Structure 1
Amino acid sequence: MNKRKTGSRYEDQAAAFLEKQGLLVIERNFRCKSGEIDLVARDGKYLVFVEVKYRSSGGNGYASAAVDWHKQKRISRAASFFLIRYGYREPPCRFDVVAIDGQQIRWIKNAFDYCE
């Protein structure tokens, strides 16, 4: 299976997991010049930008470790563009990570702060 199909499969899995937790997924694979956001969801009053990472095993480290400062910065820029594009006026936002290691799903709320 190619990387795009694999990524899509695990993003679908993450979206279903988050919806079971009560979030409403409003956008998938938002892309702009600044970067990409895997999922955008609503969690009560919060607009949540979600990065989904998958690792088949721990041999290459944990999935969550792949969301480094550079990735956080790209996600933050894309989130700013998302807010402007859709006319949001300073909603409370959060950056979460759904890390899938093998069959284990970990949802890390507030995984990082906005990076300028």
Structure 2
Amino acid sequence: MNKREIGNQGEIMAASFLEENGIQILERNYRNRFGEIDIVGRDGNILLFIEVKYRKDESFGYPLEAVGYFKQQKIRKMARHYLNEKHFHAHTVRFDCIGIIGNDIEWVKGAFY
């Protein structure tokens, strides 16, 4: 499997996990000129932008460590574009991260602002 296929499997696991926890998935792999948002979801009246990082083990580091400052800035920019494109102007927004190691899933709500 290539990196994209492995990442896609992690996103499928994350989407299922989120749905099991009451999150409505609006989009997966939303792309715009700034990049890609793994999952866009809704938790009640809160719009979620969710970054998913998958590792088969910890030999390449903890997955959530890969969501640093510059990645966060990129996700914020993509989220602003999404909100304008979809005409979501008065919604509360939250940025979450999901880290997966093997089959273990960690969901960090409000991982950054």
- For this pair of structures, how many residues does the alignment match? 113
Calculate the TM-score normalised by the size of structure 2: 0.97
Q: Please, which runs of 5 or more residues in structure 1 have no aligned partner?
A: none
Instruction: Name the structure 2 match of 1:92.
Output: 92
Letter in 2 for 1:43: D
Q: Please, which runs of 5 or more residues in structure 2 have no aligned partner?
A: none
1:1-116 equivalences under 5 Å are 1-113=1-113
Measured after TM superposition, the shift of residue 35 of structure 1 is 1.7
Task: Provide the secondary structure at the position in 2 that maps to 1:30.
Answer: strand
Measured after TM superposition, the shift of residue 58 of structure 1 is 1.2
Task: Provide the secondary structure at the position in 1 that maps to 2:82.
Answer: helix
Matched-pair contact (CA < 8 Å) for 1:54–1:99: yes
Identity of aligned residues (%): 44
Matched-pair contact (CA < 8 Å) for 1:15–1:39: yes
Task: Provide the secondary structure at the position in 1 that maps to 2:94.
Answer: strand
Superposed CA deviations along residues 13-60 of structure 1, whole A, max 9, x for unmatched, are: 100000000000000101111121000000011000000001111112
Calculate the TM-score normalised by the size of structure 1: 0.94
Matched-pair contact (CA < 8 Å) for 1:97–1:108: yes
Aligned mates of 1:59, 1:16 — CA distance in 2: 25
Matched-pair contact (CA < 8 Å) for 1:36–1:74: no
Aligned mates of 1:33, 1:70 — CA distance in 2: 16
